[in-house]
Chains A and B, each alone.
Chain A
Amino acid sequence: METSYDQHYIDARETLLDAVEALGPHIDAAILVGAQAVYMHTESVDDSFAVAPFTYDADIGLDPERLEDSPAIVDAMCRAGFRLTLPPGTFMKDGGTQVDLMVPAAAGGSGRRGARLGVHGNKAARKVHGLEGTLVSHTRRKISSLVSDEDRSCILKVAGPAALLVAKVHKIGERLEDPVGHRQEQLPKDAFDIYRLLSAIDTAELAEEFGLLRSHKISSSVTSEALSKFRSLFGSRSGIGTTLLVNSVRGLEDPNFIIESSVALSQDLLQAIAQ
């Protein structure tokens, strides 16, 4: 089916492909995370929703253990036309689309914000709590340009849906806990991205991936934390996550259906994981 994409999403995909090219030999350390990774899993249900896939940026997770010593990440990015606009980890190209390089907090060394990446320094990537599962669960996928008649593509690791769900729950949780330090306007969209994953992925499949995340030392505790947050955010009709989700579809979808559907899918998942 011919899908018409939002221009920001098309631009964000171009920037992702630019960044992957720039990272060159580091490609094996890179894992696609964030909204673009979510949409890789939810293509099958995209046209079921009135809310089209939408993102302004490209989020790339890095596994420090798989990074090469050269080229230096910041240098390589700058040579490809990116500028390190907001250290650590935020690069931007002229034209405005942003790339965020991130390292799971548990693998990022001792610093508070910047990941300690040895020869690559402390400014190349930002430490993010909640991304740990993406090191454990990912698959290589072909990522193609969304520009029509453009056949540019790359093969990149894409984080698994449960790992992405854990990361999104942590993101929403942190922003809600610290409303002063974080911008809130992205939260409804993040809630809808979680709902997309719940709708698109078979519950048993998600539950199995959660089992994998919980069995690995590096992702075990963030996964358990995320499940408890997920329960309180999305497990009931009155949960804040459910409310954020309804806000994201205001005027576009039947809010009652979205509430019932999200709560049913969330409860199904929690039940499947508990079994």
Chain B
Amino acid sequence: MAIKAVGARLPPRWLLLSREREATGWSPQDATHIADAIWELRGSDGLSSDIIVEVKANLVEPRMVDRVASQLKALSNSRHEQAGAIPVCMLISTYLSPLTRGRLTEAGISYADSTGNIRFAVDRPAVYIEIQGADRNPFREERPLHSLKGGRAARVARGLLDYRPPFGTRELAGKTGSSAAMVSRVSSLLEPDEIVTKESPRGRIVSVDWEALARRWAMDYDFASSNALTTWLEPRGTRALYSRLRNTGIRYAVTGSFAGYRFAPVAEPRLAALYVDDPDTAAQSLGLRLAETGGNVLLVRPFDPVVFERVEYDDGITFARVTQVLLDLMTGPGRGPAEAEALLAWMRDKEDIWRLPMTNTT
């Protein structure tokens, strides 16, 4: 493709040909690397030059240019020793950013990418082609997602759980502070299993199987290892903790058994779990002490601030949203999974209560 794109822009009666590597009879002395392709440029006056071509399917970051340049230079030198003329070096990739292109130019390397960026400079025969393609990587967000790990995917997943479909990709992106591309990627991951259904390939999301989504997300999430947990002691018990929480200025959200208990009581909760931004600061402000054993408070530094999104308030206490609590219980230790089952039963029954309407306020 690149050879055609460059060849088409040559002056009349110039030729750009691909050489069979074997046919050249050239084998580089540095056998650790062989050029991906060797082209031959023939000018109208009969002069010709070899072009050593390196093809990179993956993104070439600016910092990688030095390495690519030295590989190409090594090949070029080895070819020079055998054939006399100094071959031109060229890099071909799917996309080359402006910074990468700048570095390649500095290194004297020609390039072409599939968005149409071309720089082709040869001294003998003398030709210079420079064409501007895309300055932004059009493939970047199109890489398929393989899991729901990480904050960006979680923000979309939480949005898919929290809001009642139908809604548009951009609408959900706005609500969750995500890019539309990220919503599409998460959606594409979930569509094959019919967890998310769209009215048409580029249309609105018309249904979300929230229970299947929760179970799918639970495969990529683990309350105890995705977040950073520390155990603390409130010697006067969780009641004393709650009265402090009613007056605290710090950002927090109660999750785990205490949060699930509000909707689906299983057994009297003992361990209070709180999302906080900074456990040490929170512990100091709440009068907690670090506990090796016997702790009754878990301070959780979240994997992503999404845990503070769309929180619920009850009796002066801030609780994480029921969907976040569900995930935390499903993947949590001890009685968590059993409590999650009870909460799931409540959620199946009360979908109209906990699923939020998507209003057009964004």
Contact = CB atoms under 8 A, between A and B. Distances in A.
A265 B287 CA distance: 12
A259 B233 CA distance: 11
Contact of A264 (B233, B238, B270): B233
A261 B270 contact: no
B169 interface: no
B293 A256 contact: yes
Interface in B224-245: 233, 235-239
A205 B228 CA distance: 37
Given A254-B270, A257-B270, A265 B293 contact: no
Contact of B294 (A258, A265, A268): A258
B296 interface: yes
A59 to B, nearest CB: 26
A264 B237 CA distance: 12
Chain B binding site: helix, strand, loop or mixed by DSSP?
Answer: loop
Contacts of B270: 254, 257
A147 interface: no
B295 A260 contact: yes
Contacts of B291: 260
A112 B42 CA distance: 125
A48 interface: yes
A199 interface: yes
Nearest to B233: A260
Interface residues of B, number: 13
Contacts of B237: 45, 48, 199, 261
A261 B235 contact: yes
Interface string A37-51: 000000001001000
Q: Interface size for chain A: under 10, 10 to 19, 20 to 34, or 35 or more residues?
A: 10 to 19
Contacts of B238: 48
Interface string A197-234: 00100000000000000000000000000000000000
B292 to A, nearest CB: 9
A45 B234 CA distance: 14
Contacts of A258: 294
B293 A199 contact: no
Interface string A240-256: 00000000000000111
A13 B14 CA distance: 112
Interface in B124-171: none
A265 B239 CA distance: 15
B295 A257 contact: yes
Interface string B259-292: 0000000000010000000000000000001010
A199 B236 contact: yes
Contacts of A256: 293-294
Q: Which of A255, A257, A258, A259 has the most CB of B within 10 A?
A: A257
A255 B270 CA distance: 12
B236 A260 contact: no
A255 B293 CA distance: 10
Given A261-B235, A264-B235, 19 more contacts: A45-B236, A45-B239, A48-B238, A199-B236, A254-B270, A257-B270, A257-B295, A257-B296, A258-B294, A260-B235, A260-B295, A261-B294, A261-B296, A262-B235, A264-B233, A264-B289, A265-B235, A265-B236, A268-B235
Pairs of residues from A and B, 3 with the lowest C-beta to C-beta distance, nearest first: A256-B294, A260-B294, A261-B235
Interface of B: 233, 235-239, 270, 289, 291, 293-296
17 contacts: A45-B239, A254-B270, A254-B296, A255-B294, A256-B293, A256-B294, A257-B294, A257-B295, A257-B296, A259-B294, A260-B235, A260-B291, A261-B233, A264-B235, A264-B289, A265-B235, A268-B235
